[in-house]
Structure formats: C-alpha cells, structure tokens
C-alpha cells in the first residue's frame, strides 16, 4: 500500500508544481527552463497515473512496483497466485496498463494525424505557394489576410501570406522570419506534441488544455528570444503589435480572445530587459528532475 501512497503523493506533487508554474511569471523570463518543467510534470504525471492503480493492485506483494509486477508475471505463468491477490487486484493492475496503452495509443494517433495533415499541407504549398525575393527562404501565399507560420518537419517551411508582406516593414518581417525559423530549428512541434496528444486523450479536463496553452505560449516566447538575439526588440514588438492591431479591429467588443492577451504579454516582456532568473531556474530544474525521478524510482527499485 505504501507504494500506492507514494504514487499518489507524486501525482499531488505534479499538480502542485503545475499550479505554481501556471501562476508564476518567471517562466516568461526563462521559457526554455519552464518548458522542461512542464514536460517533466507531464511525464511524471503519466507514469504516476499508471503506477497508482498498479501499486494498489500489487499491494499484497509488499514490494516496489517493478519487482512486484515481475513477481506477478511469474506467478501468473505458474497459475498460482499468492494469498490476498484477487480479481480486484488483477483488475487494478489491468487499469494501470490500460492507462499506459491509452496514453501511448493517443500519442501514436496524434503523430499519425499530424504527419498526414502536414504532408497534405506541404503538397499544396508546393503547388500554390511562390517564392519571393523580399523573403528569401520563405514561401509566400497570395492571400490578403495576415499569417506567418512554420510548417515543421525534417524539411521545414516558413510561410508568410501576402497580407503579412503588406502589414510589416522590412525589419519587422526579418524578425518574424527568424522567429519562425527558430520554431523549425528547435522542433517546437515535437515539444508541443505530447501536450496535444494529452488534450486528445483527456479532452474534458480543463487543466490539460490550460497546460497545452501555457506551453504553446512559452514556445512562442522562446522563439521571440531567438529572434531578439538577431534583431532589434523594437522590430519584433512592432510586428507583434501590428498583428495585434489587426486583431483588435475585428475581435467583437468585450470578447478579448486568448490570442490577444498572449500578444500583449509577449510585447511587454520584450520591453523589459530582465536577466534570466538563474536561481529560480536552477531550483525549477531540480524540482523537475525530482518529479520525474520519484515515479521512475518507484518502478525500478
């Protein structure tokens, strides 16, 4: 039973860490560290969610979960179960495996759907997008709406619409392109992938969607940081403001979308030249490592 309690404690720790991460503002100054922390929370939560019912079901063995699982497997092959292991216990172990299978299957499905959608998008781009001397290395879609995005993959594509070319000046455009290339280089799509998969697996949990949105914003901030290494902050902020201004024109009064708030936050942080919070970052990484180590050690011991 003690091991099940440990897994439950690990889940609680994950939940608390997520609350702190969501409520603090330091992640905006150290987006990369914060992304690692969110990934650790996700991983630890998934492992604990599998481990909790397993450990509960394996309580009669009174051994760490990994060893108990092996013992159960041996007993099952011999057809002799120890006293105290009943159908309920086996059911609980099954639930644990079920959670693992669901998580894995959702991720695989998510990857599959993504690869298909991206291939389709890429094929269409080849047929209708054009190259433009003003944006070397990027593709242009002839459409008056403003959009700038990155199609990730092994051969990533940075795409801007004709509307964006009209909207931004030269320096702003250059900053936006660097931002998009950063997404491609650091494979931010893979960073977001597990959270997208989790949203699919548990669509009715608000906090899962929240976590996804947080990580999505952090990824944007990370790309903003890469862009500000090469370009003036004013250019990037200018580009963001222009996109935001476009948005304001259209958003119904009183209905500020999430997008708007995120844009504001991103512009504001570009205006502050804060140093990265080293102590907090180191502490956060230590917490993240502990979070992952706890369920892993419970399985392995």
Partner 1 sequence: MTRLGDLERAVMDVLWDSVPTTSDGVTVREVADALDGRELAYTTVMTVLDRLAGKGMVQREREGRAWRYRAAASREAHIAQLMLDALDLGGSRDAALVRFARSVTGTEADVLRAALGAQAGLTDRVDGPRAGRARRADEATDR
Binding site for partner 1 (CB under 8 A): 113-114, 116-118, 120-121, 123-129, 141-152, 159, 161, 167, 176, 179-180, 183, 188-189, 192-193, 196, 219-220, 223, 239-240, 243-244, 246-247, 249-250, 252, 259, 263
In a 3-state reduction of DSSP, which class is residue 148? Answer: strand
Coil, strand, or helix at residue 81? coil
**CB nearer to partner 1: pick between 91 and 144:** 144
Q: Please, are residues 160 and 141 in contact by the beta-carbon 8 Å criterion? A: yes
- Residue 186 contacts residue 95 (beta carbons within 8 Å): no
Angle made by CA atoms 104, 108, 111, in degrees to the nearest 5? 140
Q: How far is the CB of 258 from partner 1 (least distance, A)?
A: 10
Cα–chain-centroid distance for residue 241? Answer: 25
In the complex, minimum distance from the CB of residue 2 to partner 1, in angstroms, rounded to a whole number: 41
Nearest CB to partner 1, comparing residues 85 and 148: 148
Pick 143 or 278: Cβ nearer partner 1: 143
Work out how close the CB of 1 gets to partner 1 at its nearest, in angstroms, rounded to a whole number. Answer: 41
Contacts of 256 (CB under 8 A, 6+ apart): none
> Is residue 150 within a helix (H) or strand (E), and if so which, with residue range?
strand 148-151
Residue pair 45/1 in contact by the 8 Å Cβ criterion: no
Q: Residue 116 or residue 278: which is nearer to partner 1 going by CB?
A: 116
Least Å from the CB of residue 259 to partner 1: 5
Between residues 76 and 128, which has the closer beta carbon with respect to partner 1?
128
Task: Provide the total of helices (H) and of strands (E) in the chain, helices listed first.
Answer: 12, 4
- Measured CA distances, 239 to 169, 188, 232, 243, 261 (Å): 8, 21, 11, 6, 15
State in angstroms the smallest separation of the CB of 21 from partner 1: 21
Least Å distance between CB 205 and partner 1? 16
- If the CB atoms of residues 4 and 150 are measured against partner 1, the closer one turns out to be 150
């Amino acid at each position: 039973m003690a091991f099940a309690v440990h897994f439950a404690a690990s889940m609680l720790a994950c939940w608390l860490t997520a609350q702190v991460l969501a409520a603090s503002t330091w992640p905006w100054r150290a987006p990369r560290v914060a992304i690692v922390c969110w990934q650790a929370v996700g991983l630890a939560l998934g492992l604990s969610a599998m481990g909790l019912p397993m450990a509960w079901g394996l309580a009669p063995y009174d051994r760490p979960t990994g060893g108990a699982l092996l013992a159960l497997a041996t007993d099952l092959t011999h057809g002799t179960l120890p006293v105290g292991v009943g159908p309920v216990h086996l059911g609980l172990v099954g639930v644990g495996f079920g959670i693992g299978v669901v998580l894995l299957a959702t991720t695989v499905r998510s990857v599959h759907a993504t690869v298909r959608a991206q291939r389709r998008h890429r094929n269409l781009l080849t047929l209708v997008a054009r190259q433009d001397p003003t944006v070397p290395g990027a593709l242009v879609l002839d459409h008056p709406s403003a959009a700038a995005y990155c199609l990730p993959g092994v051969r990533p594509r940075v795409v801007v619409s004709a509307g964006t070319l009209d909207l931004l000046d030269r320096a702003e455009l250059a900053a936006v392109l660097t931002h998009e290339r950063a997404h491609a280089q650091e494979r931010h799509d893979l960073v977001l992938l597990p959270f997208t998969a989790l949203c699919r697996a548990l669509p009715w949990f608000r906090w899962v969607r929240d976590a996804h949105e947080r990580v999505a914003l952090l990824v944007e901030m990370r790309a903003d940081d890469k862009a500000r290494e090469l370009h003036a902050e004013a250019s990037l902020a200018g580009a963001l403001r222009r996109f935001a201004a476009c948005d304001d024109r259209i958003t119904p009064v009183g209905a500020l979308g999430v997008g708007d708030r995120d844009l504001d936050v991103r512009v504001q942080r570009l205006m502050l030249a804060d140093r990265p919070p080293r102590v907090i970052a180191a502490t956060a990484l230590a917490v993240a490592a502990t979070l992952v180590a706890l369920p892993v050690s419970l399985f392995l011991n």
